[in-house]
Amino acid sequence: MADLSLRHVNKKYSSNTSAVKDFSIDIEDEEFVVLVGPSGCGKTTLLRMIAGLEDLTDGEIYIDGRRVNQLSAKDRDIAMVFQNYALYPHMTVYDNMGFALKLKNLKKKDINRKIEEAAKILGIEHLMDRRPAALSGGEKQRVALGRAIVREPKIFLMDEPLANLDVQLRGQMRIEITKLHKTLKSTMIYVTHDQIEAMTMGDRIVVMKDGEVQQIDTPENIYNHPANLFVAGFIGSPQMNILEGTVHQQNNIAVVRLIDGTELAIEADMAEILLDKGYNDKNIYAGIRPEHLNAVVKSSPDKKMTYISGEVEVIENTGADVYLHLKKCGIKMIAKISKIAEIELEDQVNIAVNPSDIHFFDEETGEAIIKL
């Protein structure tokens, strides 16, 4: 396998529209990196540039320390799996998987060995004589993966390979691709707009927006320490609740005062950072994930907690969890609780929040205000 380095990669089209802006990353050998972001953010364009299917406007791409800008796609030793499986309809599974190997003039026994090994890994040995029309969506996807595996490439590129599958099958294939990565010990770059796929599959995640990198980090760090408002809202399902408020210091204690007068307590070390950075009497955004709004309070308040009240507009009961859609400060909020607890529509509820679970963002830049 191989490591991959992208250095200040840019892509502009004739209309002067920038699809990718100053993208840089170093990907280690055997690493699984996921590119995630909304449609049109430049993920697929970036993948195609790595594969050699798109020319760079500026920047450099290195594979195993070798600059490959000048190399054609066929000379980069990269295998790409697309959203549309692109199988040859008139060929059997065996022939589809072995087509690229035949073009390389490999011996018949070597082709058989590679196909058999890949088919065993993917569990499709019994499909060798079938044509694509006789396969399910999941089987077609496995064949497409097998066609990439037999080539034994330096790097695997996957462009939303699960997008055409139903929800249950997508869940199964997420697991299969993760297992495949561990089995092959390969370098993989995976494109998706599904943040659940990103969180569950990648060693690292690259969050993109409008062609620019917003954050590169492990799934855990991106979830717990989002770099800005966009990442905070994009990663997490349902997305993070964002409330606007003003920092106030009173009696050596700092709070965030919301529009309706609610005061959110700030833990001591975070309060010190906010005050040291000059946020006293300034507006900021406070972010709270729905799963951290999980305790509906009817008894005496806990002095270690802060409280948010809101009117219940919608109750979604999924069985294991209940999502309360609340109206607060003129905006919509979501709380994720474990039980309905006799809550009804239009009830005014109080929900406990641990101050350590609140994220803070600069109002002007949207950047996270983080602990040092």
Does residue 136 lie in a domain region?
Answer: yes
Residues spanned by the domain of 103: 4-234
Same domain for 21 and 96, yes or no, is yes
Same domain for 97 and 227, yes or no, is yes
Same domain for 212 and 352, yes or no, is no
pLDDT at position 342, please? 78
Does residue 178 lie in a domain region?
Answer: yes
Same domain for 131 and 280, yes or no, is no
Burial of 221 (0-12, 13-18, 19+ CB in 10 A): middle
pLDDT at position 223, please? 95
Does residue 367 lie in a domain region?
Answer: no
pLDDT tens, the chain, 372 aa long: 689 999 999 999 877 789 999 999 999 999 999 999 998 999 999 999 999 999 999 999 999 999 999 999 989 999 998 888 788 999 999 999 999 899 888 899 999 999 999 898 888 999 999 999 999 888 898 898 899 999 889 999 999 988 877 888 788 888 888 988 998 899 999 999 888 899 999 999 999 999 999 999 999 999 999 999 999 999 988 899 999 999 999 777 889 999 888 899 999 999 999 999 999 999 999 999 999 987 777 655 666 778 888 889 999 988 888 899 998 877 889 999 877 667 888 888 888 889 999 999 999 999 999 864
Same domain for 215 and 248, yes or no, is no
Q: Are strands 78-81 and 155-159 parallel, antiparallel or unpaired?
A: parallel
Residues in the chain, how many?
372
**Residue that is last in its domain, among 179, 213, 234:** 234
Same domain for 245 and 227, yes or no, is no
CB atoms within 10 A of CB 172: 13
**Residue that is last in its domain, among 199, 234, 269:** 234
* Number of domains forming the structure of the chain: 2
pLDDT in tens, 125-138: 999 999 999 998 88
Does residue 33 lie in a domain region?
Answer: yes
Same domain for 185 and 276, yes or no, is no
Domain CATH for 87? 3.40.50.300
Does residue 369 lie in a domain region?
Answer: no
pLDDT at position 96, please? 94
Same domain for 335 and 251, yes or no, is yes
Exposure pattern of 353-365 as b/e (b: 16+ CB <10 Å)? bbbebbbbbbeee
Q: Which helix (H) or strand (E) holds 157?
A: strand 155-159
- Residue 264, beta-bridge partner list: 256
pLDDT at position 44, please? 94
Same domain for 211 and 278, yes or no, is no
pLDDT at position 300, please? 55
250 Rama sector, left if φ>0, alpha if ψ -120 to 50, beta otherwise: beta
Domain CATH for 346? 2.40.50.140
Same domain for 75 and 219, yes or no, is yes
- CB 59, CB 8: distance < 8 Å: yes
Does residue 298 lie in a domain region?
Answer: yes
Q: Are strands 253-258 and 331-337 parallel, antiparallel or unpaired?
A: unpaired
pLDDT at position 166, please? 81
Same domain for 305 and 347, yes or no, is yes
Does residue 310 lie in a domain region?
Answer: yes
**Residue that is last in its domain, among 191, 209, 234:** 234
pLDDT at position 1, please? 65
Count of CA atoms in the C-beta half-sphere (13 A) of 113: 6
Does residue 371 lie in a domain region?
Answer: no
Same domain for 170 and 316, yes or no, is no
